[in-house]
């Protein structure tokens, strides 16, 4: 899963374009799935620990700012692993720590007090191993421009296309 700061950077950019959202409710929805201990439940994980967006939509409407934020979080997780990164290893968590200062500043991310203890910063001089700033910036741009209602309709019409999982390789 992308780290809190990536999720919040996407949310900040999304909210710039969608002024009708209730800011605090949307942000609460974005961080909710990672705040809860039972990630299988909050992420609608299948047996491969991949988000099942169709199952989320069967149980939830995206009719509130909170639910749209929650949906954007799950969509972010799904697309990150199925479209944007090629490899996975535990190094990705160090990459998040390296990227956090850059993302916090560039996207003017406001960290809710209750999650600050989970956002870490790596020692200076460490190199990214799994991701690049360019890929993460493109990811943030692409996800913040999504039409959530359109994506919901696509998932509902073509659930088999949105439940496929692309296995990631080790680097």
1: helix, strand or coil: coil
What are 52-100's pLDDT values in tens digits? 999 999 999 999 999 999 999 999 999 988 888 777 778 888 999 999 9
Q: Half-sphere exposure of 103 toward its Cβ, with a 13 Å CA cutoff?
A: 33
Residue 48: which pLDDT band, with cuts at 50, 70 and 90? low
Q: Is 117 helix (H, G, I), strand (E, B) or coil?
A: helix
94 and 122 Cβ atoms separated by less than 8 Å: yes
What's the whole-number average pLDDT of the chain? 90
The predicted model scores a pTM of: 0.93
Supply φ then ψ for residue 42, to 5 degrees. -70, -25
Percent of residues, the chain, with pLDDT higher than 70? 95
3-class DSSP state of 37:
coil
164 CB burial (10 A radius; 0-12, 13-18, 19+): exposed
Contact yes or no for 27/16 (Cβ under 8 A): no
Interhelix angle 91-106/133-144, rounded to 10 degrees, is: 60
Contact 56, 41 (CB under 8 A): no
């Amino acid at each position: 899963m992308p780290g809190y700061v990536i999720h919040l950077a996407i949310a900040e950019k999304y909210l710039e374009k969608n002024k009708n959202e209730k800011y605090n409710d949307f942000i609460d929805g974005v961080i909710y799935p990672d705040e809860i201990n039972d990630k299988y439940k909050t992420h609608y994980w299948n047996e491969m620990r991949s988000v099942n967006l169709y199952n989320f939509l069967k149980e939830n409407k995206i009719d509130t700012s909170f639910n749209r934020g929650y949906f954007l979080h799950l969509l972010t997780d799904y697309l990150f692993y199925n479209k944007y990164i090629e490899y996975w290893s535990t190094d990705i968590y160090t990459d998040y720590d390296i990227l956090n200062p850059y993302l916090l500043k560039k996207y003017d991310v406001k960290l809710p007090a209750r999650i600050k203890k989970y956002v870490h910063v790596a020692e200076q001089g460490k190199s990214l191993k799994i991701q690049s700033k360019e890929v993460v910036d493109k990811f943030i741009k692409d996800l913040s421009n999504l039409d959530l209602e359109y994506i919901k309709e696509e998932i509902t019409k073509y659930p088999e296309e949105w439940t496929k999982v692309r296995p990631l390789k080790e680097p």
